[in-house]
Amino acid sequence: MNETEIRAEVVAAYQELSREGMNKGASGNVSARCGDHMLITPSGIPSAQMSPDQVAKIAIDDETGAWDGPCKPSTEWRFHRGILASRQDAGAVVHTHAPFATILSVLRKPIPAIHYMMAAFGTTEIKCSGYTTFGTDDLSKMVLDAMDGSAGCLMANHGMVVTGPNMTRAMWLAGELELLASQYYHSLLLGKPHILSAADIEKTAESFSSYGPQAAEE
């Protein structure tokens, strides 16, 4: 995909999150790798009003966050850049304030292996990061720590973040994480959930490399 196509993809993903009720207004943010740069949604612009030309461009190896474009990038550019810089398998990053993921993040509850779909994240537990002010270097470090070995994490009193090799996969994982959060929340209301073993998840993971939606070009 060229830069024009990636810009359109970033905006389309952000708008889809609003339609699905995973973000409201100008909350959350989306980014995608574009060569040695990342393209990230701008700050403070609701999805319905966003256009591809407003997407900010930042060099992945630039820790200062200097950007190209008419609008400043999302305040959360630091953990987007950190994920893309530290994980060569990461092609897109999706951050949402989805309801059930956020509820669990308020409770500081990691999500255990309540369902075999946990295998899609390459781990047996979706961790919850610590809390600090949004848009800071400290938050970026906390997110990277919580995502170590995983495709996603909860962000304490904030929401969730996931990454995937492409936007198609990242958006799918965001939906799956919110579903896991909803399942865990509701199962806790009824009793004590049965947790799958690491062996159960590992066995499922063996067939997960091609499970779920793939990008069209794949």
* Residues with catalytic function: 76
Alpha-carbon gap, residue 83 to 46, rounded angstroms: 24
Backbone angles phi, psi at 71, to 5 degrees: -125, 145
Please give the C-alpha separations between residue 20 and each of 7, 141, 172, in angstroms, as whole numbers. 20, 29, 12
Query: Measured on CA atoms in the order 177, 174, 76, 63, is the torsion positive or negative?
Result: positive
Paired sense of beta strands 152-155 and 128-129, if any? parallel
Which CB contacts under 8 angstroms, 24+ apart, belong to 55-64?
55/7, 55/10, 55/11, 60/33, 60/36, 60/84, 60/85, 61/36, 61/85
Tell me, rounded to whole angstroms, the distance of Cα 2 from its chain centroid: 22
Measured CA to CA, the distance from residue 213 to residue 208 in angstroms comes to: 11
